[in-house]
Amino acid sequence: MKCISFSLYGNETNYTIGAIKNAILASRYFPFDDGFVTRFYVGKSVDSSITTTLERIKGVQIVTMDQVENHTAKLWRYLAFSDEQFEAVICRDVDARLSYRDRIAHEDWLNSCLDYHIIKDHPTGHNYPISAGMFAGKTKDLRFLASTINNRERGDYYTVDQDFLAEVVYPIVAGDALIHDPYYQTPIIGNSIRTTIPFDAPTPLSHIGAALFSNDTFVFDIDRKAQMAYCGSAKYIYEHDRWGK
């Protein structure tokens, strides 16, 4: 079994409605019948109407969390690596959107026979060793992550998840990763491969990991302006292709 893993806390609609949209998109592109579950690690602040809606979508699992709901809650999604029912975990952001392009990138990773997958799909903002919501991996060498997350004190700041991945995870995965990176010339270590995703997004801005409001407009002004200049719309453009169609 494989897991698409998200952290969800608070009641801002770009996260709560984004979670529902991602659960629906997962049922198309990463369906339960293909061996995926979509797991949300959910803070107690999230309104019950959101969790009950999510639970009605096939393949969704809810894990209720008791921990403090600050930036460290972004780390919850990595707890799935310690769940022995999963052979691989895909970590994503609830305010982005799963897509056909994402599934094609996933298949490219599987075909590479490498253990980890790093995506850098935008020319600005993705130049971290691992972008927090654009990472996947086999679980066999990352089973310790839950213990590390639960037992190590971490600061409450915006990039705590990126720093956690850079410090704890990247040294393990750097030599065994498929890196989808057309922009940053990420250094190649060991057996890793740097390549591009073999399927174009509907527009260059409708990339994997694009941060969106609940109405699908881009969170960042630079993205809204670029999308408007490219296609006359300030909104993310969804793909029409369906996995397996």
175-199 residue pLDDT tens = 999 999 999 999 999 999 999 998 8
Q: For residue 125, what pLDDT band results from cuts at 50, 70 and 90?
A: confident
Per-residue pLDDT, 245 = 43
Per-residue pLDDT, 127 = 86
Q: For residue 126, what pLDDT band results from cuts at 50, 70 and 90?
A: confident
Query: What is the chain's Cα-based Rg?
Result: 17
Residue 57, Cβ density class (10 Å: 0-12 exposed, 13-18 middle, ≥19 buried): middle
Reading the block at residue 117, the tokens are: 């997958």
Residues 115, 173: Cα–Cα separation, whole Å: 8
- Rounded to two decimals, the pTM is 0.95
- Segment among 3-12, 32-41, 118-127, 160-169 with least mean pLDDT: 118-127
Per-residue pLDDT, 242 = 63
Per-residue pLDDT, 41 = 98
Percentage of the chain lying above the pLDDT 70 cut: 98
CATH 3.90.550.10 applies to domain 2-199: yes
Q: For residue 123, what pLDDT band results from cuts at 50, 70 and 90?
A: confident
The separation between CA 1 and the C-alpha centre of its own chain, rounded to angstroms, equals 17
What single DSSP character describes residue 200? -
Residues 62, 56: Cα–Cα separation, whole Å: 11
Which residue carries 């057309």 as its tokens?
182
* Residue extents of the structural domains in the chain: 2-199
Q: Does 244 have pLDDT greater than 70?
A: no
Residues 61, 57: Cα–Cα separation, whole Å: 9
> What does the pLDDT average to over 213-220?
96
57-102 residue pLDDT tens = 999 999 999 999 999 999 999 999 999 999 999 999 999 999 999 9
Strands 177-180 and 193-195: parallel
